[in-house]
C-alpha cells in the first residue's frame, strides 16, 4: 500500500514539475509561417492565388496550398521550401505562370492620364502620383509583380528587364573540367 | 638595422620577380592628357555623386564627385579644364560594362585650387586630420582602394603597430619600389603623421628583401624620422607576403580573425603609397590626383614607372612607354596573379590601378583546359589563408553555396597560389570569384525581399487603419444624426418613409428604379476615382 502511495506521489510531483518547466522554460520558436515567408521572394504578385506572399505562407503552413505555386521563386524556391518542410521537391505548377528574369515596371509618362488605378494596384507602394497628375515608378521599390499592368486604362505601363550594371555583375563560372 | 624576428604565414610561393625591366628607367611624370575620365563607380558598388555638371569649368584639385559618406571619399579633377560630359563609358572592371563617368577636357593651363597645408600636424587633433584625409579623397593605393580615413578610425581599440606595406610581392609590379627609391622622405613624413593620428607605439615599414635600392633609400632618409620609432623590416620575397593579413602575421605573429579587422590585433596596415599621399594631403594640402603606375611586360617597348594623373587612359600610358611590341598578347590591370584581363585599352587609370601589364607569350596563364580534381591537396598546402580550396571548389561547382561559405569562401584573398600549383590546371580562383558573386547576389536578393515585405506589410497596416477610420466616421455620423435630430426633422423623415411605402400602390405596377439600374457600371476610370473620392 505504502509503495503504491509513494509511486503515485512521486509521479504526481514529477508531473507537476514537468508541467511547470514546460511553461516556465518555453522556447519561443519562430512560427513556421515566418520561416516560410522568409523563403518566398516577396514579389507580392498573387500568382499563387493568394493576395501576397504572407497569405501564401500561411496557406502552406495550414496545408491549404502546395509548395509549387510561386513562379517568381522558381525551382530554387520550391527546393528550399521542400527542404524546410521536409517534403519531396516538385516542378513548378505551370498553370501559375512561368519564372521570368527580374523586371521593373516603367510608365510611359506622356501617355499617363493620372488615373491612380496602378497606384491602388501596387502591393508595395512603389508608384508615385496624384489624381490627374503623371505617375512614375520608383524603380528601386518595384518588385516586378506586374499587378499594375492590367488595370492601366491607357496601357502605358510595360515591364522592362533589370539591366546588369558593373555593381551587380557576377563573374562567370569557369568551364567544366574535361574528364 | 636590427635583427627583427619574423613569423611564418601558411602557404605561399616563391615566384620569379620579373621586376628588373620596369625599374631600369627612373620614375617620371606622365604627360597630362587632353581628355580625362573619372568613373563614378567606387568600391563595393557604391556610386559617387557628381558635384559638377557638363560645361562647368574645373580647377586642378577641385572635388568633382563625392559626399559625406565616410566609405566614399571624393574624387578630384587631376588638371584644370571643362567638364565635357557625364556619360556611360566602359570601365576598367572585369565585366567590361559601361557606367557613368565624368569626362574632363583639359585646357593645359594646370590652374589649381589653392592648396592649404598644415605647418605642424602635431597641433591638429586626429579627428581633424582624418577629415582632411577623407576630403583629399585618399584610399588605399595597394590595389583594394579601401578608404583610408575609415581605416584610421579604430574606435576604442588600441593600436600598437602601424605597418607600412612596401612588400610588393606580386611579380612585375614595382610602383611601391620606385616610390621608395625616389620619395622615401615623403613616405616617412606620412608615417609620422599616421603614427600621431593612431598614437601607435611603433611603425614598421615592410620591404621585400629583393628590393635593395628601396631599402637603401629608406635607410638614407631614416634620420629624418628620428624619435618616431620607425623600423625598416626586410620580409622574405614569398608571394603573397604583401597581403594585409599575411604581412601582419609575419611581423607581429598575430592572426587577424576571420571577418575581423587588423585593429582587432592592434595593428593598422597601409600601403607606402597611401602614406605618401597622406603626407601630401596634410603637409601640402594636395588631394589625391595622381599615383605611380608600373607599365611593364614583354608586350611594351620601354617598361617603366610613371607618375600618372588619375583619369589618364591606359592607351596613353602605353604610348608613352614606346607603344606595344609585336609580342603583346594580353592586357592586364594589376599583376599576373591577381590582375584582371582587360578587353580594350581606352580605359581610365583609377586610384586602385597599380600596374599595367602587357603580357607577351607565356608570361601569364591564359584560359586553359582543366582536368578533373585528383584531390592531391597541393592547393591547400599553397593557400596563404589556410583554406581548403579543393573543398570550396567542390561545393561551388555543385551549387552548395552554404557549404562553400562554411568553408570560409570569403576568407579567400584570390591570390591565385592554388591556381598555379594545381596539377589539373583547374581555374580555382575563377570558381571562387563566381561563388562570391553568387553569394553577394543572393544576399542582395534577400535584402530586397525583406524590404518589399516591410513595404507590403506597411501598406496592409495602412489600408486596415483607413478602413477602420472610415467605419468609425460613418458610425459617428449616424449616431450624431440620431441624437441631435430636432423633432421637425424626425417628423419629416417619418413622413418620407410613409410616402415611400404608399407610392407602389399609387403608381401601380411601376417600381422605383434602384441606383444600380440608373447608373450603368462605369468603365471610365476618372469617374470611378471621383465617386470613390466623394463617397
Q: Tell me, yes or no, whether A26 lies in a domain.
A: no
What's the domain range around A155?
A: 100-163
Mean pLDDT of chain B: 88
DSSP annotation of B283 reads I
Q: Do A118 and A137 belong to one domain?
A: yes
Tell me how far apart the alpha carbons of residues A150 and A157 are, in angstroms, rounded to a whole number.
9
Report the Cα–Cα distance between both ends of chain A, in Å, rounded. Answer: 79
Q: Do B172 and B279 belong to one domain?
A: yes
Determine the pLDDT at residue B532: 42
Note which residues in 124-153 of chain A have CB less than 8 A from chain B. 124-126, 131, 141, 143, 153
Of A132, A103, A101, A102, nearest to A119 by C-alpha is A132
DSSP characters over A7-72: HHHHHHHHHHHHHHHHHHT---PPPHHHHHHHHS------TTSSSSHHHHHHHHHTTSS-TT--TT
Of B345, B302, B294, nearest to B322 by C-alpha is B302
Q: Tell me, yes or no, whether B151 lies in a domain.
A: yes
Tell me how far apart the alpha carbons of residues B348 and B45 are, in angstroms, rounded to a whole number.
18
Tell me how far apart the alpha carbons of residues B290 and B297 are, in angstroms, rounded to a whole number.
22
Q: Do A83 and A104 belong to one domain?
A: no
| Average pLDDT score over residue span B445-455 | 92
Q: Do B290 and B384 belong to one domain?
A: no
Q: Is the pLDDT of residue B270 over 90?
A: yes
Tell me how far apart the alpha carbons of residues B234 and B55 are, in angstroms, rounded to a whole number.
51
Q: A178 falls in which pLDDT band (50, 70, 90)?
A: low
Q: Do B219 and B294 belong to one domain?
A: yes
CB distance B452 to A143 below 8 Å: yes
CA-based nearest distance B442→chain A, Å: 11
DSSP characters over A88-121: ------GGG------EEEEE-TTT-----HHHHH
Q: Biggest alpha carbon distance in chain A?
A: 94
Q: Do A76 and A109 belong to one domain?
A: no
Q: Tell me, yes or no, whether A119 lies in a domain.
A: yes
Last residue of some domain: B323, B342, B361?
B342
Based on the structure, what is the number of domains in chain B?
2
Based on the structure, what is the number of domains in chain A?
2
Tell me how far apart the alpha carbons of residues B342 and B532 are, in angstroms, rounded to a whole number.
59
Q: Is B331 helix (H, G, I), strand (E, B) or coil?
A: strand
Tell me how far apart the alpha carbons of residues B52 and B100 are, in angstroms, rounded to a whole number.
13
| Average pLDDT score over residue span B30-34 | 93
Determine the pLDDT at residue B155: 79
A129-135 contact pairs (CB < 8 A, 24+): A131/B529, A131/B533, A134/A107, A134/A109, A135/A107, A135/A109
Tell me how far apart the alpha carbons of residues B436 and B422 are, in angstroms, rounded to a whole number.
21
Q: Do B305 and B234 belong to one domain?
A: yes
Q: Tell me, yes or no, whether B14 lies in a domain.
A: no
What's the domain range around B231?
A: 20-31+117-342
All cell numbers assigned to A176: 567544366
CB distance B196 to B207 below 8 Å: no
Q: Is the pLDDT of residue B8 over 90?
A: no
Q: Tell me, yes or no, whether B352 lies in a domain.
A: no
Q: Do B324 and B461 belong to one domain?
A: no
Q: Is A6 helix (H, G, I), strand (E, B) or coil?
A: helix
Chain segment B103-117, per-residue pLDDT in tens = 999 999 899 998 888
3-state secondary structure B142-187: CCCCCEHHHHCCCCCCCCCEEEEEECCCCCCCCHHHHHHHHHHHHH
The answer to which of A140-144, B17-21, B351-355, B487-491 has the lowest mean pLDDT is B487-491
Q: Tell me, yes or no, whether B313 lies in a domain.
A: yes
Which residues contact residue B514 at a Cβ distance below 8 angstroms, ignoring those fewer than 6 apart? Answer: none
Q: Do A119 and A77 belong to one domain?
A: no
Q: B140 falls in which pLDDT band (50, 70, 90)?
A: very high
Q: Is the pLDDT of residue B166 over 70?
A: yes
Q: Tell me, yes or no, whether A123 lies in a domain.
A: yes
Tell me how far apart the alpha carbons of residues B309 and B349 are, in angstroms, rounded to a whole number.
8
The length of chain A, given as a count of residues:
179
Q: Do B205 and B301 belong to one domain?
A: yes
B292 vs B7, which has greater pLDDT?
B292
Q: Do B291 and B241 belong to one domain?
A: yes
Handedness of CA A126, A127, A128, A130 (dihedral sign): negative
Tell me how far apart the alpha carbons of residues B80 and B112 are, in angstroms, rounded to a whole number.
7
Q: Tell me, yes or no, whether B182 lies in a domain.
A: yes
Chain segment A75-124, per-residue pLDDT in tens = 888 988 998 999 998 888 888 888 888 899 999 999 999 999 999 999 99
B43 and chain A in contact, CB less than 8 A? no
CA-based nearest distance A168→chain B, Å: 7
Q: Tell me, yes or no, whether B514 lies in a domain.
A: no
Q: A34 falls in which pLDDT band (50, 70, 90)?
A: confident
Q: Do A77 and A122 belong to one domain?
A: no
CB distance A137 to A105 below 8 Å: yes
Of B11, B75, B510, nearest to B309 by C-alpha is B75
Q: Do B305 and B381 belong to one domain?
A: no
| Average pLDDT score over residue span B346-370 | 86
A58 and chain B in contact, CB less than 8 A? no
Answer left, alpha or beta for residue A3, where phi above 0 means left and psi between -120 and 50 means alpha. Answer: alpha
The length of chain B, given as a count of residues:
535
CB distance A115 to A156 below 8 Å: no
Which residues contact residue B41 at a Cβ distance below 8 angstroms, ignoring those fewer than 6 apart? Answer: A166, A167, B47, B48, B91, B93, B99, B100
CA-based nearest distance B272→chain A, Å: 29
Q: What is the CATH number of the domain that holds B238?
A: 3.40.50.11540
| Average pLDDT score over residue span B399-409 | 91
B41 and chain A in contact, CB less than 8 A? yes
Q: Do A109 and A145 belong to one domain?
A: yes
In chain B, pLDDT over 90 holds for what percent of residues? 66
Q: Do B282 and B186 belong to one domain?
A: yes
CB distance B75 to B309 below 8 Å: no
> Which residues in chain B touch residue A52, judged by CB atoms under 8 angstroms apart?
456, 460
CA-based nearest distance A8→chain B, Å: 51
Chain segment B307-333, per-residue pLDDT in tens = 999 999 999 999 999 999 998 999 999
CB distance B159 to B267 below 8 Å: yes
Query: β-pairing, B290-296 with B355-359?
Result: parallel
| pTM strictly above 0.90 | no
Q: Do A76 and A113 belong to one domain?
A: no
Neighbours of B487 (CB within 10 A): 7
Q: Do B377 and B421 belong to one domain?
A: yes
For residue B13, the cross-strand partners are B239
Q: Is B41 helix (H, G, I), strand (E, B) or coil?
A: strand
Task: Note if the bond before B263 is cis, omega within 30 degrees.
Answer: no
For residue B348, the cross-strand partners are B313
Place of cell 591537396: B377
Q: Is the pLDDT of residue B478 over 90?
A: no
In chain B, pLDDT over 70 holds for what percent of residues? 92
Tell me how far apart the alpha carbons of residues B245 and B256 are, in angstroms, rounded to a whole number.
6
Q: Tell me, yes or no, whether A19 lies in a domain.
A: no
CA-based nearest distance A63→chain B, Å: 22
CB distance B418 to B429 below 8 Å: yes
All cell numbers assigned to B183: 620619395
Q: Is the pLDDT of residue A31 over 70?
A: yes
Of B175, B167, B165, nearest to B293 by C-alpha is B175
Handedness of CA B56, B62, B64, B68 (dihedral sign): negative
Determine the pLDDT at residue B93: 87
CB distance B435 to B401 below 8 Å: yes
Q: Do B167 and B249 belong to one domain?
A: yes
CB distance B158 to B266 below 8 Å: yes
All cell numbers assigned to B78: 587631376
Q: Do A92 and A110 belong to one domain?
A: no
Cα atoms in the Cβ-side hemisphere of radius 13 Å centred on B393: 27
B451 and chain A in contact, CB less than 8 A? yes
Last residue of some domain: B470, B490, B525?
B470
B453 and chain A in contact, CB less than 8 A? yes
- CA dist list (Å): B71 to B66, B147, B150, B151, B269: 10, 6, 7, 10, 17
Q: Do A85 and A136 belong to one domain?
A: no
Tell me how far apart the alpha carbons of residues B233 and B230 are, in angstroms, rounded to a whole number.
10
Determine whether the interchain pair A173/B434 forms a contact, defined as Cβ–Cβ distance below 8 Å.
yes
B433 and chain A in contact, CB less than 8 A? yes
Of B80, B138, B182, nearest to B284 by C-alpha is B138
Tell me how far apart the alpha carbons of residues B166 and B232 are, in angstroms, rounded to a whole number.
10
Last residue of some domain: B298, B322, B342?
B342
Q: Tell me, yes or no, whether A8 lies in a domain.
A: no
Determine whether the interchain pair A124/B452 forms a contact, defined as Cβ–Cβ distance below 8 Å.
yes
> Which residues in chain B touch residue A115, judged by CB atoms under 8 angstroms apart?
525-526, 529
| Average pLDDT score over residue span B293-302 | 94
Determine the pLDDT at residue B509: 46
Chain segment B232-243, per-residue pLDDT in tens = 999 999 999 999
Q: Do B155 and B228 belong to one domain?
A: yes
Q: What is the CATH number of the domain that holds A71?
A: 1.10.15.40
Q: Tell me, yes or no, whether B62 lies in a domain.
A: no
Q: Do A112 and A90 belong to one domain?
A: no
Q: Tell me, yes or no, whether A115 lies in a domain.
A: yes
Q: Tell me, yes or no, whether A2 lies in a domain.
A: no
Q: Tell me, yes or no, whether A178 lies in a domain.
A: no
Chain segment A114-159, per-residue pLDDT in tens = 999 999 999 999 999 999 999 999 998 999 999 999 999 999 999 9
Note which residues in 508-527 of chain B have CB less than 8 A from chain A. 525-526
Chain segment B416-443, per-residue pLDDT in tens = 999 999 999 999 999 999 999 999 999 9
Last residue of some domain: A73, A96, A119?
A96
The answer to which of B82-96, B227-241, B354-368, B418-432 has the lowest mean pLDDT is B354-368
Q: Do A87 and A37 belong to one domain?
A: yes
Chain segment B495-531, per-residue pLDDT in tens = 888 988 887 654 444 444 444 444 444 444 444 444 4
Q: What is the CATH number of the domain that holds A122?
A: 3.30.70.20
Q: Do A159 and A104 belong to one domain?
A: yes
What residue of B is the nearest CA neighbor of A123?
Answer: B456
Amino acid at each position: 500500500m505504502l509503495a503504491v502511495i509513494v509511486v503515485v506521489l512521486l509521479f504526481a510531483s514529477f508531473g507537476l514539475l514537468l508541467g511547470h518547466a514546460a511553461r516556465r522554460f518555453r522556447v519561443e520558436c519562430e512560427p513556421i509561417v515566418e520561416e516560410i515567408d522568409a523563403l518566398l521572394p516577396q514579389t507580392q504578385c498573387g500568382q499563387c492565388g493568394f493576395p501576397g506572399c504572407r497569405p501564401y505562407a500561411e496557406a502552406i503552413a495550414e496545408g491549404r496550398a502546395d509548395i509549387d505555386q510561386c513562379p517568381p521563386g522558381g525551382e530554387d524556391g520550391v527546393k528550399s521550401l521542400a527542404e524546410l518542410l521536409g517534403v519531396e521537391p516538385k516542378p513548378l505548377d505551370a498553370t501559375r505562370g512561368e519564372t521570368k528574369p527580374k523586371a521593373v515596371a516603367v510608365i510611359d509618362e506622356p501617355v499617363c492620364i493620372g488615373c491612380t488605378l496602378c497606384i491602388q494596384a501596387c502591393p508595395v507602394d512603389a508608384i508615385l502620383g496624384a489624381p490627374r497628375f503623371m505617375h512614375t515608378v520608383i524603380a528601386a521599390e518595384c518588385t516586378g509583380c506586374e499587378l499594375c499592368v492590367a488595370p492601366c486604362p491607357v496601357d502605358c505601363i510595360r515591364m522592362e528587364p533589370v539591366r546588369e550594371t558593373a555593381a551587380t555583375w557576377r563573374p562567370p563560372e569557369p568551364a567544366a573540367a574535361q574528364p | 638595422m636590427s635583427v627583427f624576428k619574423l613569423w611564418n604565414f601558411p602557404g605561399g610561393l616563391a615566384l620569379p620577380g620579373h621586376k628588373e625591366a620596369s625599374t631600369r628607367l627612373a620614375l617620371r611624370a606622365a604627360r597630362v592628357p587632353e581628355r580625362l575620365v573619372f568613373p563614378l563607380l567606387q568600391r563595393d558598388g557604391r556610386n559617387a555623386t557628381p558635384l559638377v555638371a557638363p560645361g562647368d569649368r574645373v580647377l586642378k584639385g577641385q572635388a568633382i564627385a563625392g559626399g559625406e559618406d565616410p566609405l566614399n571619399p571624393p574624387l578630384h579633377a587631376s588638371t584644370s579644364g571643362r567638364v565635357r560630359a557625364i556619360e556611360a563609358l566602359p570601365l576598367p572592371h572585369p565585366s567590361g560594362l559601361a557606367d557613368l563617368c565624368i569626362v574632363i577636357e583639359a585646357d593645359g593651363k594646370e590652374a589649381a585650387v589653392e592648396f592649404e597645408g598644415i605647418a605642424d600636424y602635431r597641433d591638429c587633433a586626429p579627428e581633424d586630420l582624418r577629415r582632411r584625409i577623407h576630403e583629399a579623397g585618399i584610399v588605399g593605393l595597394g590595389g583594394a582602394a579601401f578608404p583610408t580615413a575609415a581605416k584610421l578610425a579604430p574606435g576604442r581599440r588600441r593600436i600598437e603597430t602601424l605597418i607600412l606595406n612596401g612588400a610588393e610581392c606580386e611579380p612585375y609590379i614595382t610602383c611601391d619600389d620606385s616610390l621608395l627609391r625616389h620619395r622615401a622622405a615623403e613616405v616617412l613624413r606620412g608615417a609620422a603623421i599616421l603614427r600621431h593620428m593612431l598614437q601607435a607605439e611603433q611603425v614598421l615599414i615592410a620591404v621585400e628583401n629583393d628590393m635593395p635600392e628601396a631599402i637603401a633609400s629608406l635607410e638614407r632618409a631614416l634620420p629624418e624620422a628620428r624619435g618616431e620609432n620607425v623600423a625598416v623590416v626586410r620580409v622574405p620575397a614569398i608571394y603573397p607576403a604583401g597581403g594585409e593579413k599575411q604581412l601582419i602575421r609575419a611581423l607581429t605573429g598575430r592572426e587577424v580573425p576571420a571577418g575581423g579587422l587588423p585593429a582587432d590585433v592592434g595593428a593598422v596596415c597601409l600601403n607606402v603609397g597611401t602614406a605618401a599621399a597622406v603626407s601630401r594631403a596634410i603637409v601640402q594640402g594636395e588631394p589625391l590626383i595622381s599615383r605611380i603606375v608600373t607599365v611593364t611586360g614583354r608586350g611594351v617597348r620601354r617598361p617603366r614607372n610613371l607618375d600618372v594623373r588619375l583619369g589618364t587612359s591606359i592607351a596613353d600610358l602605353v604610348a608613352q612607354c614606346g607603344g606595344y611590341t609585336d609580342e603583346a598578347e594580353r592586357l592586364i590591370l594589376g599583376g599576373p596573379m591577381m590582375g584582371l584581363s582587360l578587353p580594350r585599352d581606352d580605359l581610365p587609370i583609377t586610384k586602385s590601378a597599380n600596374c599595367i601589364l602587357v603580357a607577351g607569350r607565356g608570361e601569364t596563364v591564359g584560359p586553359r583546359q582543366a582536368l578533373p580534381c585528383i584531390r592531391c591537396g597541393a592547393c591547400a598546402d599553397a593557400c596563404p589563408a589556410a583554406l581548403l580550396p579543393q573543398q570550396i571548389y567542390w561545393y561551388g561547382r555543385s551549387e552548395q553555396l552554404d557549404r562553400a561559405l562554411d568553408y570560409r569562401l570569403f576568407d579567400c584573398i584570390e591570390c591565385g597560389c592554388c591556381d598555379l600549383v594545381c596539377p589539373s590546371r583547374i581555374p580555382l580562383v575563377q570558381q571562387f570569384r563566381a561563388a562570391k558573386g553568387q553569394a553577394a547576389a543572393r544576399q542582395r536578393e534577400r535584402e530586397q525581399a525583406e524590404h518589399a515585405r516591410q513595404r507590403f506589410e506597411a501598406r496592409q497596416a495602412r489600408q486596415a487603419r483607413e478602413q477602420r477610420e472610415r467605419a468609425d466616421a460613418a458610425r459617428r455620423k449616424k449616431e450624431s444624426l440620431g441624437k441631435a435630430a430636432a423633432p421637425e426633422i424626425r417628423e419629416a423623415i417619418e413622413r418620407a418613409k410613409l410616402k415611400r411605402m404608399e407610392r407602389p400602390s399609387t403608381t401601380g405596377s411601376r417600381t422605383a428604379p434602384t441606383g444600380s439600374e440608373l447608373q450603368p457600371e462605369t468603365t471610365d476610370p476618372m469617374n470611378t476615382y471621383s465617386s470613390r473620392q466623394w463617397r
